[in-house]
Each structure stands twice: as C-alpha cells, then as structure tokens.
Structure 1
C-alpha cells in the first residue's frame, strides 16, 4: 500500500508559552482542525469522493501542527477500539523530525537538574547529541570511575508546550461536542485527557527511570535478557543517566543467531506479561539489540504496560483457548478482559471468532497471529461502542510490534508454538497470592482458639439464662442509616403530596396566574422537583 508523502515538521520548542503565543497557537490549532473537517465535508459529503483517504489527510494535519500533535497521532494509533486499521496505520507512521537543541542548552539542563557543574558528575560529556527525538535527546558520557553511560535530556519547553496544546485541544473538543452533540458518544474529551496523562508520564524521565530499574532488577543475572540499568542519584524528571550498551541490529544476523534471538525475545515477553505483570510496550526493531554473548538487550521504556491479576487470568485463558482453537472459550476470555461499555453482546463476537478459527485451521502454525486475533475482536467491538482499558490497548500494539520484530529476525519462527511450550513451565499457573497464604493461617488460628471461645460463650449464656434469646445490638452506622431512611421516606411523601396538589391547582386554575399558568401550581411543581433531586442525591 502506498501512502502520500507528507512534509516532515522541524520543531524547536522553547520555554513556557506566553499568553499571546498561547492565543496564537489556539487559533492555529482551531483553523487546522476546522479545515480538516471542512475538507471531509466537501470530499465525503458533497462530492462523494473516496479517492483521498481521510486518515492520510488527518495525519498530514497533525504533522503540520508539530511535535505534540505527532505524538497525539501516535497515541491515537493505539486506539483500535475507535479507529479502523487503515487509520491506525496512517497515524502510526507519523514521525517528528526535530533538530537537536544546542549543546549549551543540554549542559544547562543537566546542571540545573543535578545541581552542580557537569564536570563534577562526569569525566567526559560528549557535546554532540547521539540521537534527538521530540521529547528528549541523548548524549554519551563517562562517569569518574570510567563507566560509559548515556544521558537522556528532556527537550527544554517540551512539557510546557505539550500541556498548553492539550489544554487548547480539550477546549476545542468541548466546543465541538456542544455544537455537534452526536460526537459525545465517541468520548473525545476522555481520550484527550488520557493522551494528556500519557504525555505527562512520558515527559517525566524519573518515572521512566523507575521502570528501567524495575525491569533491570527482574532480569538481573539472566542468561537471555539484559537491561542497561539507571545510575542511582542521577535521575530527575528532566534528566536520566543510564548505563551504555550496544549490540548488533536485527538486520542481517546469521540464521542460527536470529532464530535463537527470536526465541529468547518471545520467552521474555511471556515472562513479562504472565509472570511479572509488567511489560516493555515498544519492541520495534530499533529498541532491540543482540549482544555479543547472544543476550537480547531492550531499550526505551517510555511506554510500559501492566497486567493485574484479573487481566492475567483472562489473558492466560485467551492464549490457551486460541492455541486450542476453542471459539467459545476465546469469546468468554475476551469478555473477561475488562471491556468498557454498556450492553456488550456476546453474540457479536462469536461469528468473528469462529471465522478466525476456521481461517487458522487452513494456515500453518507459524502464520497464526495472536495480535491479529485481538485486532479482529477489537474491530467487532467498535460496532457496539465498546472501549478497551489502556493496558489492553498497549498489549495489543505490543504483540503486533513483537510479531513484526520476530518475523524480521526469523520469518519461519512460530510464536504460537513458543507460547504453547510454556504450558508445562508453570508460567501460566495462578501465582500464590497473599490471600491464599492468609486463609490457612487464619483457619489454623480459628481451629486453635475455637474450643475455648465456644466454652466461654456457652458458660456466659447459661449463667444469664438467655440461651434461646436473640439480641440485636445496633451500632452507630445502623442507627444513622435508619434515621436517613426515615427522613427520605418523609420527604418522599411530602413530594408526592406537592405533585398531587400542584396537579389539582393546575387542573382547576386556582389562584393568581402567570400567563396561562397558575402561579401556585408552578411553585408547587418547582418545590416538588427540588425535593426529588434532594432524594436522588441522598441515596446511598
């Protein structure tokens, strides 16, 4: 599939936007988005022309609006629950080509973040940036003990610009929803809020450092995976110092090395998702290297996903059901993954899964796609306005990237076979939780204390002669609840009386009038409606 060439934006972000520049930026954003909507109305509405894809046009608009909106498009490309595959593909291809900021600014940011001159922290600091991106750029350096490191420095003004842009975008979305109420069903304001929260997470390098440390601790000493650790005391929201590592890119590896690397990569993701509940969310080929000793090195932990206990159990069921090609089980597991939306109809997903199972039966095992299965189920959910939790969306994208990276390494490698081998390793077994450990402990205590407790209670009952008497000891919460219930019942009776009296006054036209309406009836209705809202707010 060909895609029209788009202009590449070169963005220089400075300090905090002024009020005047924010107004100018709001005008620019509003005009760009309005122009896109007019273009859609003209081509798709009046001209009935489908030769230009709206997704490509939207991607061009985001590209021209700069770094924040390029990142917005990349985030939206995750939303398989609201966007068709061609739109996701168009947005995922967005790139922000930004010039490195000057080395003087880099040094200034480092010294401001670490609170001392860089010469007191590093024995060497390379002024030439190793790589530059929309959020940060990377410089090589060396610590006084000779340890080679990389210094990731957040672009000056990037966080402030992103915050301003997202605030403007949210206001525009609210205005659009006010003008076109049907847009509210898409939950655009909630999507903007979610993207803004993701921006804040990515902009805070101390959070990324915490993720790196968690992964490094989980894989420390592994014979298959290596995670370059962060350096203690040298990580802040704007600067992160990490051990330097390098290895071979995935292109052109010897066949045996590539197959082994594919197996280690898949095994590591099985462990990350099902054992650790915390996974690297961006396994594209640029973030994966093969070390000289054969270990896989993962980089860039700006995007991570989490799997809680309920989601883990549903994922285990989904993976096993998919391997077993059990359509009914696949649907049940899918619905257990925490879909967001009212009235989810199971019957919608059953034919999709049956068609998927029938298609897989005609393909070799190496061509089965777990991410493809998830994508088809997500697409089926779009007809019901079903929304997916963020971590499930991140997981779907991660599996898609993982499959692409594995196919680059070893086209004949079967991910499904690699996953199915883990059914005997125990990684899919339910981990022993704190609750399961507590139950035997509490039962043991109860078994030890129960005889003496029963004896003392029986002795007390016999002394007081109330063996067959029952007593209820209401607590403060119970009494308060009864009191609130009584007040609500009384208010409900008064409200009912007001509705009846006002209706009678309205019917007979008693008292002074305002226009054609009896004033006393209107006042009665107003009081009754006010009391109704009071009763509704006091529930629970």
Structure 2
C-alpha cells in the first residue's frame, strides 16, 4: 500500500519512520507504505537502553514529540514497563529564547510594554521548556508574580506535527493489525486534547482557579492564583510562590516538618478531586510540588489536566474497594466492564491473573501503593487484549507520582490505609446530588405529574372501549418469518430431491428399450436431475450460512 506524500511533511514522515524501525515496529512502517524511508538500523537488545535512547530521540525531535512521549508514559496498557519508565522521565529543557522575543510576545499579547505593565521583569528565566519559559516579575501594585511566556511559532510547529501524525495514525488504523488493535487515531485524539490544553494558557489559568477551589478545605495545600488581566492564550501570569522542590528535602530537613499531615492532606485531596469531582491533575510529579517556607505544599504547572467521567469515577471506587478487600473476581469484573474487549480477550485467564495480583497486593499490607497497583492492572489488561479507558491509566500514573512525592515527605506513609479510611466519605460525597441534577429531576417530576391524569384517562378509555392493546417485541418477527420460510424451502427442496431418487429407483424395474449405460433412460434422467438439485441446494446452504456468519461477526 502506498500513499501520496505531502512535501511539507516529508521530514516528519522520515523521522517517525526511522523511530519505528529502530525500536522494533518496522511492520507498522511497511503496513502504511513508508518503506522508502527505511534505513538499515540495528535495534538494541537491551530494552532499558533502547527506551532511554528513544527518550533522547524524542527530546531532539521537538516539543510535540516530547509531549507525545510523556503521554505514552501514562499508557502502561500499550508499552512495557522499561519504556514507560524512560518516557516518564522525559525532560523538555531547552535553550531559553532571547529576551527580545519574550518582550515582543508579552507586549503584543497584553497590549502594554514591559516598562508600563510591570514594576520589574527579570531578564533571566526561572525555567525554559519547549512550549514556553517562566520569568519572575513584579506588578505595579507590588504583587510578586511569575510570567509564563509561550515560545513564538510553537503553535505552527505543533500544528504541522499533528497533521502528519494524524495522517499516519489513520493509515495505520486502516492497514495494520497493530493499528486495528490499539486504535492510534483514538490515542492521538487524546493527545491532541492534552496538548491543546497545554498551549492554551487561559485554560491553565482556569485550571488553577478550579484546583484552588477544590483544595480550599485543605489548609496545608496551596495553589498559585492567576492574574486574569495579565493572562492570554500565550501569556500566563500567576502569583509567585517561594519554596523548594520536595525532591531537595533530605532526612535532616524532615525533622522540622510534620510530613504525615502534609501527605495525608495531599492524598485525600487528590482522591476527592479524582473520584468525586472528576478533576485530574495528570502530572503531579515531585518537580511540580513545592514546599513553602510556612510548611505548605504548593501545586504548580496545571497544563496537563484531564476530566474523569462520572461512570469511570464510580468504577474506580469499586475497583479500589475490591482491591482493598482482596476480592480478585470483583476486580476483574470491574476492569472487564470498564474496558474495550479485543478479539483475543480471554476472560478466564484474565480473571486468574487479576486474582493473583490482588492477592499479592493485599499481602503487602501497609506497603500497598495504589498507583502502582492501578498501573499494573492497566498493563495486565493490555496484555490480555482488554483496552481500559485512558483515564484509568492516567489516574494510576498520577497516584504513582503522588506516591513518589509522599516518599520524599514521609517514607512511612501508607496510601492503602488512607484510601480505606476515606472510602466512606468519598462514597457519601459521590452520592450527593448536584444542583443541576436536582433541578433536572424536579422538572421531570413536574412533567410526569402534569401528564399523568391525561395518560391515565386515555388508558381507562381504551379499556372501556375494548381497544387496549399491549405490544411486546420479544423477537424480531420479520426476521423470524424470513428464517422459517428459508427453512421450509430447504426442507421442501430436500423432500423433492428424495422423491426423485426414490422414483428413479422404482423406474429401474420398468422394462424399456431406451437405455443409458445399460439402465433405463427415464431412471438415469431422474437420478441426474436429483444429483444436480442436491448439489445446488448444498451450495446455496453453504454460501448463505457463510454470509450470515460474516454479517453476525461484523455486527458484534
């Protein structure tokens, strides 16, 4: 299979083809007709080394590929552990853009020069990444802030990369077994939404505001507030939060800190946000959590945020309860109901391995890590041909990152105990009706009460007139009659063929001068017609049954 190459995407096709061949997916390249880009490369036998090299290659290819690698690190149902581990450590630190470009972007976006819009603006960035960089500044009011400035031209680069990836994903889904199994187009759509959120700084500002509201009941958690008047799609201004990364905290530093209170609040807040509010900060790794001088935890960088649907929230709660109770059968049933079953899915084998994993998990006791268990269950699902919802893998990865944060603050913290202690509260919160849901139910109740008398009168009138009917659609009558007619035709044809054979056998005894091969002609003609009719009937039966079987398989 070949496809028409778009000249503007040629270098991207070639770069992706080299990656796929180098890391063992040349079958995918051949399937989409990219053989002309293949090069003789020897993949490494060491999986960990190959995974680290892939991470370096993606970093060299630019921002879109770095973000794609970071997203793939959450899809443990698609990639083996060494690869997801390497991709989760992807860094997009790059050379900072010239300050003149920063000044131009801020001036164009805010409509005011740095000199008039800020009391001060540091020329040296605090951090520089592939999508943007951060500068410390001070507003005329004296408010200390940081300003996140998007790199000029990065939107166009991402747009071109996404166009090339979309074309290849569609081709892979249509022409390769790997694409049909994993659905690259669906995966790319998830990536598109995630990347669009990271490029829209107004959306990130809304995420900051939303998370501040959700963490308000937790006094030891802090989220920097955005400055709306100084925020656009390409410039984000928020409060400056002094502090140091939790990764820089050593054993001596923990002596002056009540780490247990901090990690319990952090974990409870995330469980509440994910399982009740459906708000998922998908990247709470230790680098995005700061310890402030007043011993609070500041949560920063909310570019990667996802929504957990209500259906998935309920299933995750049931899954965590099943794991906590050591009920492997219930855990397997919940996972099977959550995911999309592939053709090779074996429910029995899957259930056995889930039960074994849950048993090993329960044996860990207080050492249980909820994130690690969800990640392993996602990986196990992918191995058995069950594709779990993307949100489950992202929740598992987020909780796994939280486990790393808690290890820096309180190595003795037991997430399993916190989950069990807060399960009842999570269930109560999840059952509280929302204002919108209550109003919708009230409107439906009013409509029901308004229409009930008229409907009851129509039913009573129909009963009185003898015209009341009940229609039950237990089966498809048309299809049933069609099948019965086809069956009757086959039986009738079979009886006629049998009658012709019996008649021909009786005619063998009739004396006649007209013979074929030494037998009466009339008998031989009847035998021939019966044989032809039988062959035609058998052919029709086989062809029809195969067509019906293919149609039933396609409907499933």
TM-score by length of structure 2 reads 0.71
Q: How does 1:386-465 map to 2 (within 5 A)?
A: 386-425=386-425, 427-428=427-428, 429-433=430-434, 434-435=436-437, 439=441, 461=461
**What is the alpha-carbon distance in structure 2 between the residues aligned to residue 437 and residue 343 of structure 1?**
45
Aligned to 2:351: 350
Deviates more, 1:164-173 or 1:369-378: 164-173
- Corresponding position: 1:467 with 2:490: no
Deviations along 1:271-304, one digit per CA (max 9) or x if unpaired, are 2112321122211111112334433211010111
Aligned to 1:160: 156
Change (3 A) 1:244 1:350: same
What SS is found at the alignment partner of 2:227? strand
Q: Is the 8 A contact 1:163 1:196 kept in 2?
A: no
Aligned to 2:210: 214
Q: How does 1:171-210 map to 2 (within 5 A)?
A: 171-172=167-168, 183-210=179-206
Aligned to 1:374: 374
Alpha-carbon offset, residue 97 of structure 1: 2.8
Change (3 A) 1:114 1:221: farther
Alpha-carbon offset, residue 186 of structure 1: 3.4
RMSD of aligned alpha carbons = 3.8
Change (3 A) 1:51 1:254: closer
Q: How does 1:36-435 map to 2 (within 5 A)?
A: 43=42, 53-172=49-168, 183-220=179-216, 222-250=218-246, 251-252=249-250, 253-255=253-255, 256-339=257-340, 341=342, 344-363=345-364, 365-425=365-425, 427-428=427-428, 429-433=430-434, 434-435=436-437
Q: Is the 8 A contact 2:92 2:129 kept in 1?
A: yes
Structure 2: where are the runs of 5+ without partners? 1-5, 27-37, 470-477, 483-554
**What is the alpha-carbon distance in structure 2 between the residues aligned to residue 162 and residue 445 of structure 1?**
50
**What is the alpha-carbon distance in structure 2 between the residues aligned to residue 413 and residue 279 of structure 1?**
22
**What is the alpha-carbon distance in structure 2 between the residues aligned to residue 188 and residue 458 of structure 1?**
53
Change (3 A) 1:243 1:349: same
Q: Is the 8 A contact 2:336 2:386 kept in 1?
A: no
Q: Is the 8 A contact 1:311 1:338 kept in 2?
A: no
What SS is found at the alignment partner of 1:138? strand
Alpha-carbon offset, residue 437 of structure 1: 6.3
Change (3 A) 1:324 1:229: same
**What is the alpha-carbon distance in structure 1 between the residues aligned to residue 236 and residue 12 of structure 2?**
30
**What is the alpha-carbon distance in structure 2 between the residues aligned to residue 181 and residue 410 of structure 1?**
46
Deviations along 1:30-58, one digit per CA (max 9) or x if unpaired, are 455555557998657xxx95588543443
Q: Is the 8 A contact 2:373 2:396 kept in 1?
A: no
Q: Is the 8 A contact 1:81 1:379 kept in 2?
A: yes
Q: Is the 8 A contact 2:324 2:362 kept in 1?
A: no
Change (3 A) 1:339 1:147: farther
**What is the alpha-carbon distance in structure 1 between the residues aligned to residue 131 and residue 152 of structure 2?**
9
**What is the alpha-carbon distance in structure 2 between the residues aligned to residue 62 and residue 157 of structure 1?**
19
Alpha-carbon offset, residue 338 of structure 1: 4.5
**What is the alpha-carbon distance in structure 2 between the residues aligned to residue 118 and residue 42 of structure 1?**
51
Alpha-carbon offset, residue 405 of structure 1: 1.1
What SS is found at the alignment partner of 1:141? strand
Deviations along 1:56-99, one digit per CA (max 9) or x if unpaired, are 44334323323332222222111111101111112222223301
Change (3 A) 1:455 1:299: closer
Q: Is the 8 A contact 1:349 1:377 kept in 2?
A: no
Could you say which structure has the larger radius of gyration? 2
Alpha-carbon offset, residue 386 of structure 1: 2.5
Change (3 A) 1:135 1:50: closer
Q: Is the 8 A contact 1:341 1:385 kept in 2?
A: yes
**What is the alpha-carbon distance in structure 2 between the residues aligned to residue 22 and residue 208 of structure 1?**
30
Q: Is the 8 A contact 1:289 1:298 kept in 2?
A: yes
Change (3 A) 1:109 1:49: closer
Alpha-carbon offset, residue 430 of structure 1: 1.9
Q: Is the 8 A contact 1:271 1:427 kept in 2?
A: no
Change (3 A) 1:231 1:326: same
Q: Is the 8 A contact 1:29 1:65 kept in 2?
A: no
Structure 1: where are the runs of 5+ without partners? 1-18, 473-484, 490-538
What SS is found at the alignment partner of 1:254? helix
Alpha-carbon offset, residue 446 of structure 1: 5.6
**What is the alpha-carbon distance in structure 2 between the residues aligned to residue 173 and residue 360 of structure 1?**
37
Greater helix percent: which structure?
2
